[in-house]
Amino acid sequence: MTDNSAKMAVTREMFSDVMVPNYNPAQMVPVKGEGSRVWDQAGKEYIDFAGGIAVNCLGHCHPAMVNALHEQSQKLWHLSNVFTNEPAIRLAKKLTDATFADRVYYANSGAEANEAALKLARRWAIDVHGEQKQKIIAFNKGFHGRTFFTVTVGGQPAYSDGFGPKPGAIEHVPYNDADALAKLIDDKTCAVMMEPLQGEGGVVPPEQDFVKQVRELCDKHNALLIFDEVQTGFGRTGTLYAYEQLGVTPDILTSAKSLGGGFPIGAMLTTAAIAEHLKPGTHGSTYGGNPLACAVSEAVLEVVNTETVLEGVKQREAMIKEHLAAINDKYNVFKEVRGMGCLIGAELTEQFEGRARDFLLAGQEHGVMVLVAGASVIRFTPSLIIPEEDIKEGLKRFEHAVAQVVG
């Protein structure tokens, strides 16, 4: 019989004994986080520039989130969508008030939100235009999730190959290439799906004219434009959603990651005219829109969607880029530093091409957590409210990591 009176001692080695080996986590095991700092089992402190891959938009254990979770946990956790609930309706009202959208569908992750968006686009096209309008166009190096539909739409065969026959009528073109899109799109296209700034694909910003041309081509061929804002949304780029900075409004938008600030939740936002094609029974989620997740997300929205926080994101972008430029002046490791707000990528020079993970691991040694976006881009997705002193200290530690890799 197992003794549950004391907590089991956990080691990194146990991961290999009990977990499916699709991840290769760090050797240290984090146990506590507060703000933009994390501590491991040994008590070592880290500055967190990874943010759970652009999730922890208010850092770790933000009081507004903790309070919302605690308060809701004493009222109602889960009902299923046989019933509605107050936090879900309040959050949906605030999201529609703050965006182009009229309607919200809740999910539990970005992949689920994207799956819903793609199914809705297909259903809309078939209902309105007929069975022949099925083609979905997306972009090379895009990333839209790991379900079979979304991973196929994402333009990275390394993630979608090896699982047998893929969903059909999905094609890809290079990002920022409107001419290639113009050649492929036609009246059989039901939707174009894109990230307003490619995250996993290398932190690649769009050219302003490109996004406008995508919108125009969609309008010309009666295709829906889907913006995957799972990584860029909820303040990450300095506006609530990135589309606000691009002069283009999508037909469908997906949101997750920062939407819950660390609590799992996803959402698909769209217009009333498009939403009506998902009638009762056509799509659903057991946990989507549960009271706990929606209460936390509402608390996050109240903090993030303020001038102070959104303007602060732009200030932090400038500060991080300035510090990275200073590091590059000394070590000449970055070909380019790019991105928007608190989603920044530093592409390595040819000399260090393919070695982004080396910088990530060296960063951990020196007490700073960063990410990669492909083999040659180091990615920074810190809290939107990371204090200035944590930025300075974190990049000081990152400079030590750079010096170690450069040798």
Catalytic positions, written as ranges: 143, 228, 257
Question: Do 292 and 69 touch, CB atoms closer than 8 A?
Answer: yes
Which residue do the tokens 């590059």 mark? 328
Run of H or E residues at 369? strand 368-369
Give, in order, the Cα–Cα distances in Å from 358 to each of 176, 179, 194, 364, 400: 29, 37, 30, 10, 13
Enclosing H/E stretch for 399: helix 388-406
Residues 6+ apart with CB under 8 A from 241: 99, 227, 229, 232, 233, 234, 253, 255
Tokens of 398: 């990152």
Residues 173 and 121 sit within 8 Å (Cβ to Cβ): no
136 Cα distance to chain centroid: 21
